[in-house]
Chains A and B, each alone.
Chain A
Amino acid sequence: MTSTVQTPTTRAATPPAAKPSRLRRTVRTSEFTLVMLAVIGFVALTLTTDGNMLSAGTLAAFFRFLAVPMIIGLAQMVVLAIGQMNLSVGVLTGFCAMVAAWAMLEAGLPAPLAVLAAMLLGAAVGLGNGLLVVFTRINAFIVTLATMTIIDGLRYGVNGPGTYQDYSAGLAELGQASLLGLPVVFLIACAVAATVWFFFARTVPGRHLLASGGSPFAARLSGVSNDRSIVLAHALSGLLAGVAAVLTLAQSGSVNATIGDDLLLPSFAAPIIGGVALAGGVVSVLGTSLAAFIVRLVDVAQAQFAINRRWVDLIVGAVVLGVVLSGAIRTKLSRRSS
């Protein structure tokens, strides 16, 4: 489930005929490392908590709160694919959630329409980001820094410091519902991830987007519109932030103007641990999702062992740094040997 443009990291890469076996290639991908890490972490956590991890309640909570980090990681990944960043993902999620809650409570919109409105709003703001980047030619980092500040103010403007709750019984039910033992919100997140994967792997706009990210110059020479890729990527990122807002609405039961504040740094951590290059041209839906899974494991471990909340940040920081360094060392070694 990856669209990584695979770089030959193998030692025996010189003659093309002597390709390593399929198994060995699979073993060497960063996704495989992440899968192993996730499995080992999960098993270790299960053993050390005397199987508490596998009890229905803990397991359901584990996956329920995995949904939003996954989607937020993907929202950032889409923009990283073209070598840009979107600093506004976190606050945009909060803004969409607040607006949807407002629409249900104060404007009396039915829940399905409000959900749709949240996603459309996310996509529209993302589209605005993209258009600003294309028309002003200002660095996306700066543009989204500015829009992040603006949306932060708007998010607060919806209801001031107040909290919205009891907006929709149907949404709350959806947030708590399970299917085959897995929370529905998590299944939705998986479906969204699969769609994003399909978009990058199999559709023309998705491949164009990756081409623009990999080499804008080459993409232009091949007739790909880089501007269109930029606008599309930002709009998609906004749309995913809107989806994350809907999931937040469903699972949390109440929203206020601080929603999304703690999402910005994790949104970068997941794709980076997952092997997405900041330079663009490479995405890994599976890697990003697995990274969110691993970060969630650290979270649960903290709760299970009643460790200081702050160790989580320390460990996540160390993991990001470790993954990045090991990746750099690996490419250095493979370059030396070839």
Chain B
Amino acid sequence: MKQEDTTTPEQPRPPARLPLWANPRIGLVVLLIALIALFTTLRPAFLNTQLTLVPMQADISVYAVVGLSQLAVLSLGHMNMAVGRMAAMSAFASGLLHDRLDAPLIVALAGGLAMGALLGALAGIIISRTGVNSFVVTLALDFALIGLVSLLYATFTDGVAFNGLPAGMSALRTDTFADYCAGDVCGPEIPLLAPIALVAVLVVGLLFRWSRVGREVLMTGSNAKAAELSGIPVGWRVVQAHALSGLLAGLAGFLLSANNGSFSAGVGDGFLLPSFLAPVLGGTLLVGGAVSVLGTVLGTAITQVIYKGLNLLQFQVDELKLYIGLVLLAALSLDRLRHVLAERRGVPA
């Protein structure tokens, strides 16, 4: 996994090596391990493979992609408020392709991804053409799509979900690699969804680290004017970043549908909050120009560990939110403190 960490380019001195404590990712790993240790002590069932670990990995896979979808536009300093509804539209497209045209799994997936990318590109085109704040544009798009999704489901299905799934999709939901054996050697207890998310993480990481498009998107995010003067096609990069966000939202919608076992109108309803939570916990800035893909994955893992752990301790779902919020605030304040301390020592962090 490549991590992305564009430190602010303003300091003239050669970038000093980060001391260990100043690396935010280390803090996240420590927090993650501490949380797992805490929950395991309180409830040994936390390490039960079937009950906890496998479903948790599936959830992390889904929400890591959700976080990446938001990260794709945070790189520009933009937001995508419609991330959940783009996922819902993608799931609808996949479901329709299967239901009406009997499309196989891979075609349904491709159709869903294309739908997501198109919606994202539409948002990007409006934003880059008019210069209107991305928050407003995607918020309005979200409103419109909330209505559209339910209307479409009401028209094309007899309820709020498609009956039936493409062949192979239920295997994605129920199977782990342990169910596939070559001779006596079976795979690990990892759900089949996990490698799909891993590919998404790798591709996005490589994109922002090594590809020209990714670097130019980050430059646009850190200073659009300077980027334009350097010959970067700023408008086109904005469209591309939003299309990527839509595409990833579509993938997340597909993964969640696979996890739930149906293409339904409710897919994506709870995406907005986690989509911001994961990248922000992971150290991605809202102002743009810097992203952390590895941090996003860690942020997702931490949130899901807290959810699962408190769930095992029999907290109500709504009560959980209190603690998630407190952890977010605490993590951000600590990060801020680390930043201040690092600055005082003259280390760019």
**Which residues in A have some Cβ–Cβ distance to B below 8 Å?**
85, 132, 136-139, 141-143, 145-157, 160, 257, 265, 268-269, 272, 278-279, 308, 310-318, 320-321, 324-325, 327-329, 332
Please name all residues of chain A whose beta carbon is closer than 8 Å to the beta carbon of B318 when the two chains form the complex. Answer: 152-153, 155-157, 257
CB distance B332 to A324 under 8 Å?
A: no
Give, as a whole number of angstroms, the nearest-CB distance from B129 to chain A.
9
Q: Is B40 an interface residue (CB 8 A)?
A: no
Chain B residue, CB-CB nearest to A154: B322
Docked pose: A332 CA to B144 CA in angstroms: 25
CB distance B321 to A149 under 8 Å?
A: yes
Give, as a whole number of angstroms, the nearest-CB distance from B295 to chain A.
14
Q: Given A136-B333, A146-B329, A311-B147, does the pair A325, B132 have CB atoms closer than 8 Å?
A: yes
Q: Given A132-B329, A137-B336, A141-B286, does the pair A156, B139 have CB atoms closer than 8 Å?
A: no
Determine which of A154, A269, A308, A325 lies in contact with B151 in the assembled complex, contact meaning CB atoms within 8 Å: A308
Q: Is B271 an interface residue (CB 8 A)?
A: no
Determine which of B136, B276, B320 lies in contact with A145 in the assembled complex, contact meaning CB atoms within 8 Å: B276
Chain B residue, CB-CB nearest to A157: B319
Docked pose: A33 CA to B310 CA in angstroms: 52
Give, as a whole number of angstroms, the nearest-CB distance from B147 to chain A.
3
CB distance B132 to A314 under 8 Å?
A: no
Determine which of A85, A149, A279, A318 lies in contact with B325 in the assembled complex, contact meaning CB atoms within 8 Å: A149
CB distance A278 to B142 under 8 Å?
A: no
CB distance B325 to A147 under 8 Å?
A: yes
CB distance A145 to B273 under 8 Å?
A: yes
Q: Given A132-B329, A142-B276, A156-B319, does the pair A314, B126 have CB atoms closer than 8 Å?
A: no
Docked pose: A155 CA to B316 CA in angstroms: 13
Please name all residues of chain B whose beta carbon is closer than 8 Å to the beta carbon of A156 when the two chains form the complex. Answer: 316, 318-319, 321
Give, as a whole number of angstroms, the nearest-CB distance from B121 to chain A.
16
Q: Given A138-B336, A149-B321, does the pair A317, B126 have CB atoms closer than 8 Å?
A: no
Please name all residues of chain B whose beta carbon is closer than 8 Å to the beta carbon of A269 when the two chains form the complex. Answer: 139, 143
| Contacts A/B (CB < 8 Å), 28 sampled | A85-B135, A136-B333, A139-B286, A142-B280, A142-B286, A152-B325, A153-B318, A153-B322, A154-B322, A156-B321, A265-B143, A272-B139, A278-B135, A278-B136, A310-B146, A310-B154, A313-B147, A314-B143, A314-B151, A317-B144, A317-B145, A318-B140, A321-B137, A321-B144, A324-B130, A324-B132, A324-B137, A324-B140
Please name all residues of chain B whose beta carbon is closer than 8 Å to the beta carbon of A313 when the two chains form the complex. Answer: 143-144, 146-147
CB distance B147 to A136 under 8 Å?
A: no
Given contacts A278-B136, A320-B140, A328-B131, 8 further A-B contacts (CB under 8 A): A152-B322, A153-B318, A153-B320, A156-B318, A157-B319, A308-B151, A320-B136, A328-B130
Q: Is B38 an interface residue (CB 8 A)?
A: no
Please name all residues of chain A whose beta carbon is closer than 8 Å to the beta carbon of B323 when the two chains form the complex. Answer: 153
CB distance A310 to B150 under 8 Å?
A: yes
Please name all residues of chain A whose beta carbon is closer than 8 Å to the beta carbon of B316 when the two chains form the complex. Answer: 156, 160
Docked pose: A313 CA to B280 CA in angstroms: 29
Chain A residue, CB-CB nearest to B134: A278
Docked pose: A257 CA to B321 CA in angstroms: 13
Q: Given A141-B286, A156-B319, A314-B144, does the pair A146, B151 have CB atoms closer than 8 Å?
A: no
CB distance B132 to A328 under 8 Å?
A: yes
Please name all residues of chain A whose beta carbon is closer than 8 Å to the beta carbon of B126 when the two chains form the complex. Answer: 321, 325
Most chain A beta-carbon neighbours within 10 Å: one of B135, B150, B318, B319: B318
Docked pose: A325 CA to B136 CA in angstroms: 10
Interface of A, secondary structure class, is: helix
Determine which of B135, B144, B276, B321 lies in contact with A152 in the assembled complex, contact meaning CB atoms within 8 Å: B321
* Interface positions of B from 277 to 317, Cβ below 8 Å from A: 277, 280, 286-287, 316
Please name all residues of chain A whose beta carbon is closer than 8 Å to the beta carbon of B64 when the two chains form the complex. Answer: none
Docked pose: A53 CA to B280 CA in angstroms: 48
Docked pose: A13 CA to B2 CA in angstroms: 54
Give, as a whole number of angstroms, the nearest-CB distance from A95 to chain B.
11
Q: Is B148 an interface residue (CB 8 A)?
A: yes
Q: Is B324 an interface residue (CB 8 A)?
A: yes
Give, as a whole number of angstroms, the nearest-CB distance from A103 to chain B.
20
Give, as a whole number of angstroms, the nearest-CB distance from B323 to chain A.
7
Please name all residues of chain B whose beta carbon is closer than 8 Å to the beta carbon of A310 when the two chains form the complex. Answer: 146-148, 150-151, 154
Determine which of B137, B143, B319 lies in contact with A316 in the assembled complex, contact meaning CB atoms within 8 Å: B143
Give, as a whole number of angstroms, the nearest-CB distance from B324 to chain A.
5
Most chain A beta-carbon neighbours within 10 Å: one of B130, B141, B273: B130
Please name all residues of chain A whose beta carbon is closer than 8 Å to the beta carbon of B101 when the two chains form the complex. Answer: none
Most chain B beta-carbon neighbours within 10 Å: one of A149, A154, A155: A149
* Interface positions of B from 114 to 132, Cβ below 8 Å from A: 126, 130-132
Give, as a whole number of angstroms, the nearest-CB distance from B222 to chain A.
16
Docked pose: A62 CA to B294 CA in angstroms: 51
Q: Is B181 an interface residue (CB 8 A)?
A: no
Q: Is B133 an interface residue (CB 8 A)?
A: yes
Please name all residues of chain A whose beta carbon is closer than 8 Å to the beta carbon of B20 when the two chains form the complex. Answer: none
Docked pose: A143 CA to B325 CA in angstroms: 9
Q: Is B328 an interface residue (CB 8 A)?
A: yes
Q: Is B16 an interface residue (CB 8 A)?
A: no
Please name all residues of chain B whose beta carbon is closer than 8 Å to the beta carbon of A154 when the two chains form the complex. Answer: 322
Q: Is B51 an interface residue (CB 8 A)?
A: no
Most chain A beta-carbon neighbours within 10 Å: one of B132, B147, B286: B147
Chain A residue, CB-CB nearest to B150: A310
Give, as a whole number of angstroms, the nearest-CB distance from B343 to chain A.
12
Docked pose: A324 CA to B135 CA in angstroms: 12
Chain B residue, CB-CB nearest to A318: B144
CB distance B286 to A265 under 8 Å?
A: no
